[in-house]
Structure 1
């Protein structure tokens, strides 16, 4: 389990998957306005129309000019993707942690924590994140211009018809780099903090979990923002290759302003969402694991009888 180095051995894979999915769905829905604003800022703006840096101003402007429906366009894709992404991410992280643990002590060093998170991030990107992020970003981009996508399903059908499977995996390199590094820093930082607290008998409460998750979110944002900007540019409505995305970012804003575009907005989301994600995960495990244990015990008793 992500909550403790030794606990992962006692958390069945199905519990990690289910709890991660629940946590991912809750985190994506509650923090979506920040994600929407961040994505809008990272996409290429129309000439002569500057994009505000304040996320609340972005959300207010979109609501006033385009309505509530436009503001939440892409939310469904993000929630579905987050359920799959975080279910897979927590499942593989919990299992990979066991493989990466020191054979003598059963614990993970900070570097092994990061390596386990990076491996889980790559798996999550391949299995769930890239196509759902592509649809979410395309929907947000489309809502401000052409508005030809009626829904996430419709966007998926149009992109697949026009570009094939490669269209749904547009931005794969940037997304995978982002997911590998983000999962490494987020999961790794959270576990390093938790292991540090456990050794000093600091109680693991909801407040502690939220604080650890928020710190992990801050570290993740600052270290991985360039990959997030590249991913967003690659996954616009018409799409772009990773090289084209990098060139357009440099041409529009330069290195630092370009590759850390939307940092404030993403920071607002990840600090909040990091706390929500890990707190929800810990709570979900506490509910799901006893139910799973009871079910398996009942089935085992029936088979024995």
Structure 2
């Protein structure tokens, strides 16, 4: 009984992982969406405008609000929020489940390699069941709003894309999204878990500040490591859609190798903030829900 009790001490109930991840994902997506919007707009710009592409998201946000109003800045937001709730719910559930299978039964910690591997598997699962279709709709809505205005809502965009390209049309950019999600989740959740385990060994108290800083560090490393995948994914999921190969070649044609890093500074600002918010909210919700479901 003693070993089981020790293991149970480090386990988070599955329903708590899922609900906490989903709530954290929804909160994070809502707060940081304007930065995501600005990044997507920049990544969809072609070579002709390359010299005028801003590195700071604030001019993009300011221009959109001035020209089209505040609501335009949240075009595609509902798709991202719904997707983030599903994606992060699945991602944390999967990560915590894998973590429990491989953690040290006496300390509840993982080796760095197993932390990253657990995150990568979580990324593949969340991309397949949530991220790719919702990211496709979000990106298509943002791109469409800049050019054709064909889509009236996320649901209408789903219908149009399905009628034109079938079910697979909703999975445009699946390879790029999955590569990004796998690498990003592996690095982000792996780094966060490594930092948390290190602090646990050093008896450093977990607090809102500690959680936020750990998340921001994980977000920074994630952005720098996975930006090319994100750029390919965005091009593939534009309003008209493109294959991963077509997206890759169009980026090379527009900006060469440097084109794969377009929007890095904007994504960096968002991922630092979003990762800090995500893990902080997740940890707080876990502490609230865990006693209820024990």
Q: Same fold (TM over 0.5)?
A: yes
Tell me whether 87-96 or 44-53 shows the greater mean CA deviation: 44-53
Residue 37 of structure 2 aligns with which residue?
Answer: 36
- Correspondent of 2:146 among 144, 147, 153: 144
Counterparts of 1:179 and 1:147 in 2: how far apart (Å)?
29
Alignment of 1:202-241 (within 5 A): 202-241=204-243
Encode CA deviations 1:145-185: one digit per residue, 9 max, x unaligned. Answer: 00110111111111111111100000000000000000000
Counterparts of 2:30 and 2:107 in 1: how far apart (Å)?
39
Q: Check if 1:157 corresponds to 2:159.
A: yes
Residue 115 of structure 2 aligns with which residue?
Answer: 113
Residue 290 of structure 1 aligns with which residue?
Answer: 291
Shift in alpha-carbon separation, 1:292–1:75, aligned structure 2, 3 A: same
Contact persistence 2:162–2:170 (CA under 8 A): yes
Q: Alpha-carbon deviation of 1:64?
A: 1.2
**Aligned-partner SS, 1:219:** helix
Q: Alpha-carbon deviation of 1:102?
A: 5.2
Q: Alpha-carbon deviation of 1:98?
A: 1.9
Alignment of 1:191-270 (within 5 A): 191-255=193-257, 257-270=258-271
Which stretches of structure 1, 4 residues or more, deviate above 4 A after TM superposition? 6-9, 102-106
Counterparts of 2:56 and 2:68 in 1: how far apart (Å)?
18
Residue 3 of structure 1 aligns with which residue?
Answer: none
Q: Could you tell me the TM-score, scaled by structure 2's length?
A: 0.94
Counterparts of 1:29 and 1:226 in 2: how far apart (Å)?
24
**Aligned-partner SS, 1:53:** coil
Contact persistence 2:76–2:139 (CA under 8 A): yes
Residue 25 of structure 2 aligns with which residue?
Answer: 24
Counterparts of 1:239 and 1:96 in 2: how far apart (Å)?
34
Residue 172 of structure 2 aligns with which residue?
Answer: 170
Residue 274 of structure 1 aligns with which residue?
Answer: 275
**Aligned-partner SS, 2:24:** helix
**Aligned-partner SS, 2:152:** coil
Structure 1: gaps (5+ residues): 1-5, 294-305
Shift in alpha-carbon separation, 1:17–1:8, aligned structure 2, 3 A: farther
**Aligned-partner SS, 1:31:** helix
Q: Alpha-carbon deviation of 1:65?
A: 1.4
Contact persistence 1:43–1:232 (CA under 8 A): yes
Q: How many residue pairs were aligned?
A: 288
**Aligned-partner SS, 2:206:** coil
RMSD after superposition: 1.8
Shift in alpha-carbon separation, 1:48–1:213, aligned structure 2, 3 A: closer
Structure 2: gaps (5+ residues): 1-6
Contact persistence 2:227–2:264 (CA under 8 A): yes
Q: Check if 1:180 corresponds to 2:189.
A: no
Residue 303 of structure 1 aligns with which residue?
Answer: none
Contact persistence 2:11–2:100 (CA under 8 A): no
- Correspondent of 1:78 among 80, 83, 101: 80
Contact persistence 1:100–1:116 (CA under 8 A): no
Q: Alpha-carbon deviation of 1:286?
A: 1.1
Contact persistence 1:77–1:135 (CA under 8 A): yes
Counterparts of 1:46 and 1:230 in 2: how far apart (Å)?
15
Q: Alpha-carbon deviation of 1:45?
A: 3.6
